Amino acid sequence: MSFLTRRLLATSALITFAVPSVTVLAAPVAAQSATATQPAKGKKPPAATRASDDNAPSMMGATAPTDQKSELIEVRSARHSQVAGGLMIKEDAPKSRSTVTSEYIEKQAAGLNPMQLIEMLPGVNTTSTDPMGLSGGHMTMRGLNESQIGFTLEGFPINDIGNYAVYPQEIVDPENLRSINVEQGSADLDSPHISATGGAVDMYLMDPKEKLGGKIVGSYGNYNARRVFGRLDTGYIGNTNVKGFISFSDAAEDSWRGPGGQNKLHGETKWVSAWGQGNKISFSLLGNHGTSTLFPTTYMDTWQAQGIHNAYQATWNPKSPSANYYELHRNPFTNIYASAPSTFTLTDHLTLTETPYFWYGDGNGGGAYSESLTSQQWGAQTMTASIGDHNASNTKSLIVYNPSNTETYRPGSVTKLSLHTGINRVSVGYWFEYSKQIQTGPYSQVDYATGKPLDLLGGGPNMVLANGETAQYRDTLTQTRIHTMFLADSLSLLNNKLNIEAGLKYSVVNRDGQNFLPDTSTGPYIKGSWQEPLPAVGIRYKINNENQLFASSTTNFRIPMNTSLYDSGAYSVARGGYANQANPNLKAEYSISEEFGWRYQGPTVMSSVTYFHYNFTNSLYSQTVNTGNGQSYTRSINGGSSHADGVDFEIGTRPIFYHFRPYFSAEYINRRTDSNVAAGNGDYVFSKGKFAPQTPRYQFGLNLDYDDGHLFGGYSLKYVARQYATFTNDQHIPSYITMNINLGYRFKDWGPMKAPTLKLNLRNITDRQYLGFVNATAANALATTGVYGTAIKGGSATYSIAAPFMVMGSASVDF
């Protein structure tokens, strides 16, 4: 532990621990005015409230939307005065944080997902696999991937509870987003995550409008991309304080490489009732249904030989069927999110914040294989099988559909009680979640006349073994119970110039797993338990109204993925087990993050520079193990430790000449592996001291915004340095530059139509073809000699091919 960590944690022992209650941002400019409470209809808000007092201390925990300041931006107001075109706001947290507001969001191409919208921020490296982002994407932040970053929407967690993956295309329609907060170093204490060792991304919906109205957007682009969005605001209903909105969108596009396409139907609603000083109840419900054709990842030699033409097969031949046919590689998914974040002022000094939520998801990533009905495995037993009324003549090589089904039920709640006593704010909180995740992998029938699965969700007819059991490559039930208590204190001194914060979070996570496959190495019932105390401390000092210094030291953890509990995949007698083998006794991944920074927040220019350092122990990753007889299997392992040092920087301005507002961000990072990584055969590759994979050493982002109130436009550029794919640094993605342009015009109001707008967006304007993300790392790509002298064959890292040039035109109007 570094000197800074020891000193900061020692300081925390001198003050009362409490839960962060409210992050207070310095007062935004007029075009971004803020208030945290809503007055009763027709009444003015109080001059100051507990939730929005600008002199109150900033807090390290403010994940609930009722903790955030509301951003009031009217369609016809002077939005073009915001800093950096909506890529910066005034921050007051004792740690690094960057924010994207609705002004920047609404100028981007319609329907982009949240990962695409934060691509310009320091430390953020994102890649989309299709132009509209309908098939998802990937992200790293300070070299850590999305499974190590906590994502929330309206205060509830978005990451998958099993493998912590994020599917950005399923989350939210950008027209309803108020802001996206990016915390590059650490999640807040009250953030509901068990995987956020690498920071957090918090998304917040706009509140419903106070008057009856709405918005309509229509868009069309290349690859037959089309999208419609509609939103209706009720305004205040009758003489009540209740207001709400309902919105729907429908988007689709053709695949840009290979056959098929992507489509998404999405709906959202939010309702709010606010009264008195600081009382607010809100309810949000989001539903999403999408079906995409998957884009295959690629290997480096395949990329060099085929480029972007590595795709699934476009046609089906019943006489020569192929499991590579695109209709067998679809991604259907339905998910529903519900959240009711609310705040109640119990007394003049006591506030209760409650965020109950429910998360439901059901879908799969489709796949197909050639299987023999005369020889199937039921664990170590070999037997025959049958499947429906298949019409293929060759039962020894039958194409079957094999999706990876996942169904998740996930209720939970975050409760926080805050005591305000003048210069001190003490809070205590509790996060509880119970989740049930059912994961199966049945083999189901394919219509040999068309090549399509009879049931896209793999419901049948299924392959049935001679013993009457349904054949599956995985069949598990995982139940996860999370108990997290957090306690923190915020002390404001020297007339709020000095703010000292400290907190402690204690997490207890229990997993009960049941594997219904036979002959597994761990038996049918598996239990996992992890407990971690997670201290945090932060200091912010205001030199004057424009300059402030901050420092923080935080700890976070990520428990192993649920897949580490189970054997799964194909069983091989020669291998002596399954293709994926359990390792249920893994320790949690643990991180210590330290930051020291300076912010300048002047009337024209705003900037921030942050030095950061982090240490990881028990880094979790997947390993391929060779058994020595031509067989291999994969398992999750602790890969040792790593560390990083780096600097983040961003600067933006209000209009400085002719309505231009430039923004620039940059990052330098030196991330190193501190251990030799296991490579199978009981040996290790020489990786200690090597540069860590998936980490660009340099990143630069530039955005130039122009907006005179009617005509607006922008140009953005992002440079990303090379990214290694292996722990021995013998294979990498080359550096790349991408550029985007937007141009639009807002017309004057015309009758009931408010600010009719035409917009043109161009993304990746040079149509650069490039590998954008290391999808799966490898110990080494080239043959090498291990630490113990073993000859180690080269492994195979996989890559995602980035999206091509996109042009999209949009027309929108408010009413």
pLDDT at 69: 57
How far apart CA 353 and CA 19 sit, in angstroms, is 11
Residue 25 has pLDDT above 50, yes or no: no
CA 686 to chain centre: 32
- For position 222, which CATH number holds? 2.40.170.20
Q: Which of 53-62, 454-463, 787-796 has the lowest mean pLDDT?
A: 53-62
Contact 505, 484 (CB under 8 A): yes
Q: Residue 670 carries which side chain, given as an amino acid letter?
A: N
Distances (CA, A) of 142 to 22, 91, 643, 693: 26, 20, 11, 12
Give me the residue label for tokens 């290391």: 774
pLDDT at 49: 37
How many residues comprise the chain?
815
DSSP notation for 363-405 = E----EEEE-TTSEEETTEEE-EEETT---S-TTSEEEE---E
Q: What angle do CA 266, 269, 272 make, to 5 degrees?
A: 160
How far apart CA 430 and CA 416 sit, in angstroms, is 7
Contact 233, 213 (CB under 8 A): yes
Q: Strand 568-572 relative to strand 242-254: parallel, antiparallel, unpaired?
A: unpaired
Q: Strand 279-293 relative to strand 261-275: parallel, antiparallel, unpaired?
A: antiparallel
Q: What is the percent of the chain with per-residue pLDDT over 90, rounded to a whole number?
A: 79
Backbone angles phi, psi at 30, to 5 degrees: -60, -35
The model's pTM = 0.90
Contact 721, 735 (CB under 8 A): yes
Question: pLDDT band for position 225 (50/70/90)?
Answer: very high
DSSP-assigned beta bridge partners for residue 594? 553, 613
pLDDT digits (tens, 9 = 90+) for 71-89: 433 333 445 678 999 999 9
Q: Residue 668 carries which side chain, given as an amino acid letter?
A: Y
pLDDT digits (tens, 9 = 90+) for 769-809: 999 999 988 899 999 999 999 998 888 899 999 999 999 99
Give me the helices (H) in 635-718, please.
none
Number of domains making up the chain: 1
pLDDT at 40: 44
pLDDT at 62: 76
How far apart CA 362 and CA 479 sit, in angstroms, is 16
55 versus 592: which is more confidently predicted?
592
DSSP-assigned beta bridge partners for residue 511? 480, 528
How far apart CA 444 and CA 471 sit, in angstroms, is 9
Q: Residue 276 carries which side chain, given as an amino acid letter?
A: G
180: enclosing H helix or E strand: strand 177-183
3-state secondary structure 540-579: EEECCCCEEEEEEEEEEEECCCHHHHCCEEEEECCCCEEE
pLDDT digits (tens, 9 = 90+) for 592-613: 999 999 999 999 999 999 999 9
Give me the residue label for tokens 């069949």: 475
Count of Cβ atoms closer than 10 Å to residue 397 Cβ: 12
Contact 596, 588 (CB under 8 A): no
Q: Strand 200-205 relative to strand 150-153: parallel, antiparallel, unpaired?
A: parallel
30 versus 750: which is more confidently predicted?
750
Contact 126, 736 (CB under 8 A): no
Three-state DSSP state, 182: strand
pLDDT digits (tens, 9 = 90+) for 253-265: 999 999 999 999 9
Q: Which of 49-63, 491-505, 675-689 has the lowest mean pLDDT?
A: 49-63
pLDDT at 392: 58
pLDDT at 366: 86
DSSP notation for 448-487 = TTT--BS-TT--SSBEEETTSPBPEEEEEEEEEEEEEEEE
Three-state DSSP state, 269: strand
Q: Strand 605-617 relative to strand 547-558: parallel, antiparallel, unpaired?
A: unpaired
pLDDT at 64: 81
Backbone angles phi, psi at 565, to 5 degrees: -80, -20
The set of residues, in sequence order, having a beta carbon less than 8 Å from that of 430 and lying 6+ positions away, is: 414, 415, 483, 484, 485, 486
Distances (CA, A) of 649 to 99, 652, 664: 14, 11, 8
How far apart CA 383 and CA 361 sit, in angstroms, is 34
pLDDT at 537: 95
Residue 174 has pLDDT above 90, yes or no: yes
Token pair, residue 432, equals 């509880």
Question: What mean pLDDT comes out for the span 12-40?
Answer: 33
Question: pLDDT band for position 61 (50/70/90)?
Answer: low
pLDDT digits (tens, 9 = 90+) for 354-397: 999 999 999 999 899 999 999 999 999 999 999 987 665 667 88
3-state secondary structure 600-653: EECCCEEEEEEEEEEEEECCEEEEEEECCCCCEEEEEEECCCEEEEEEEEEEEE
- Please choose, from the candidates 723, 742, 645, the residue with its C-alpha nearest in 3D space to the C-alpha of residue 105: 742
pLDDT digits (tens, 9 = 90+) for 459-498: 889 999 999 999 999 999 999 999 999 999 999 999 989 9
Distances (CA, A) of 84 to 79, 98, 104, 742: 11, 12, 9, 15
Count of Cβ atoms closer than 10 Å to residue 29 Cβ: 15
Q: What is the dihedral of CA 228, 813, 656, 69, to 10 degrees?
A: -80
pLDDT at 357: 97
- What is the chain's mean pLDDT, rounded? 89
pLDDT digits (tens, 9 = 90+) for 160-172: 999 999 999 999 9
Count of Cβ atoms closer than 10 Å to residue 430 Cβ: 15
Distances (CA, A) of 105 to 63, 85, 86, 194, 339: 21, 10, 8, 29, 23
pLDDT at 623: 73
Instruction: Write out the residue range of the structural domain in which residue 307 sits.
Output: 3-814
Residue 26 has pLDDT above 70, yes or no: no
DSSP-assigned beta bridge partners for residue 648? 610, 667
Three-state DSSP state, 129: coil
Max CA pair span of the chain: 84
pLDDT digits (tens, 9 = 90+) for 332-359: 999 999 999 999 999 999 999 999 999 9
Token pair, residue 778, equals 């490898």
Question: What mean pLDDT comes out for the span 491-509?
Answer: 94
How far apart CA 759 and CA 219 sit, in angstroms, is 9
Residue 28 has pLDDT above 90, yes or no: no
How far apart CA 731 and CA 782 sit, in angstroms, is 8
The set of residues, in sequence order, having a beta carbon less than 8 Å from that of 337 and lying 6+ positions away, is: 153, 156, 158, 284, 285, 286, 287, 357, 358, 359, 360
The sign one gets for the Cα dihedral 796, 797, 800, 801 is negative
- Please choose, from the candidates 432, 426, 244, the residue with its C-alpha nearest in 3D space to the C-alpha of residue 354: 432
- Please choose, from the candidates 132, 26, 178, 57, the residue with its C-alpha nearest in 3D space to the C-alpha of residue 805: 132
pLDDT at 761: 98
How far apart CA 215 and CA 588 sit, in angstroms, is 46
Token pair, residue 255, equals 């695949």
Give me the residue label for tokens 């979070």: 505
pLDDT digits (tens, 9 = 90+) for 278-291: 899 999 999 999 99
pLDDT at 79: 56
How far apart CA 154 and CA 633 sit, in angstroms, is 40
The sign one gets for the Cα dihedral 220, 224, 227, 228 is positive
Residue 239 has pLDDT above 80, yes or no: yes
